A and B are shown apart, each in its own frame.
Chain A
């Protein structure tokens, strides 16, 4: 009978518990934030959010993005203030992108990120971006051509990063991880506004370079391609290179088919050197009709050598830029040293900035044409 008593007790308890539904909120009373951003931190935090507002019911339901802006002492209180104008419970867990303006990035990301990584309902897989030459509000108020809402547009672009090497996407956890790890500096992709048919449209290209949590400069789209390659995160994209074939120079479009990156620290007594070996697999996407015969091994070899030289030069330029101009170890050479040669790292850790500025890097690029589309040769026109 005691068992029965326990059962009855259980049922009573269930009934009792039913009298209160503390976290019960109807889903239609929630406002889904799909993207957010911060335009300024001082004197007040300006928070911009994009929410998904649904209109119509049943099969006619549509989503309309609504952009709300609010000012408050802190990001969190700003976020909560939004409940007032929106009239619903703000639901953050579906936020996919978070934008910061250039000023905010220059002033230090930590003030913004600290409440975000603490928050229970914000995803660590949220994408971080920096608005270049415009405010976050302008970005959110621009008109993406196809998708509804800027956040969806940006997420969609970022998810295409596999076929475009114009930017290196960074999720929240990657950025904070880079901030916290020794010997690496963070980057964030940049978002710009371009004119398109009378409308402003956001595009993602280039990167912002950070030193600690402060942004110190930009990388152009081309430099970002190299960044992606050297971070081992480039999986696709195209580039055009003037190629000399049998004395004629012609512009050929190449396609990245894959790359293997090997970065290795070489320690020889006091001397530290990095060895970067990159091997590229390329495809030929088009030749502008020039007479190039890829069935000729000599031609292929020539092209491969030129591409290798071209990339070696670009990488050298890039390294000079980050080592001397920015002095920001965004490739994580220091972290590599820490992982592979902890003894050496212990010695040079304290003045890594200086060491990094003068760190000799041995660049070795190896290139292979793996694919030329469906044809080996362009069309041969005849009279």
Chain B
């Protein structure tokens, strides 16, 4: 009987299993030695160690942000492991994914990401990050034939040091914020993408982040460089075991787009969110920013935020090139006791720049869901345009939704439109669907999916199917 109950509870978060594998860990806690150890482990050049140490020194002087709508619990940064790597992958240099520890292969197979060659998903290249390290990247050699570099950032540091040195920390400076400084000091791995001039990346690129080790923080760093006239579609997914302790994930993603380049970045964030009483779950404190450096460049962020106990995340665009375009499409779903403070920043610097913000917040149970966004039009940004739409939907009467849009216009030729709405799923809508034979859970999920449609349609098809399923699963127990 209790087995049955346990099974049902576990079904709520089917990605919540643990992989039993021997790990190599650095001692707990954070100090200069740990920073040096991480750098040494990755065979990093001197400049990168300096970069890390600088960031670490800055971080020591900074404080956790306290302006979120809700209180973020204190985190003991000395009580975390900053580096954890499967022992079986301890050998030097990259090796074939086919030779990975069978435990790891089985783990990713279970997560729906087969890694061995004959089972790989075609049309998508995947970099898999397990705790502190990238285990490998599929289709790497095939991509290289088109000139596309897709590998772990630790490999890029060794193989493409000039590119990394030129761009690392240029979009998100080390002192940008508390978690960015922390990440800059201790990032262990992540993904690196370089799309050369004029190349349309022949397949979608994707990174899958898996946290497995206990009491370990995951600090990964992604750098995407799109040269003139190039195009890439990038996808990100993430899951973690179901545990009673909170775990920290503090990532940085930096994107640079040159003239006429376009980068689409999509995330389905499904970190473990804690149980219904708010015990456990990932703290997801992430800095993502894109620089539209070139004329007519485009960067779009699409995110489906459905997991994490606390989300603090504002994927942003700096629209530096004239005629550049930034977009942010977001669905943030909170249920149980989840807290989300998420949104975007659109900084218009170049002339005739354009930004679009579509944010859909769904709150259920006792959760709190905040949209926080800033649109800034700098003095030189003639004819800048922004359109923002922030809609919130409440399910039940114990949750809350808040919208904090900040608008700063320093050029009179700018056009800013902002629309916002808050709705409750109406009893009439539910009854209408039910009177056609659709059960209440399915009815809610239909209404919610309709509500999110403008965002889902910006996702690649498979991701959008996954997002719909995920939202459905999340809401299953939230229908009163």
Please say whether chains A and B are actual partners in one complex. Answer: no
Which B residues contact A (CB, under 8 angstroms)? none
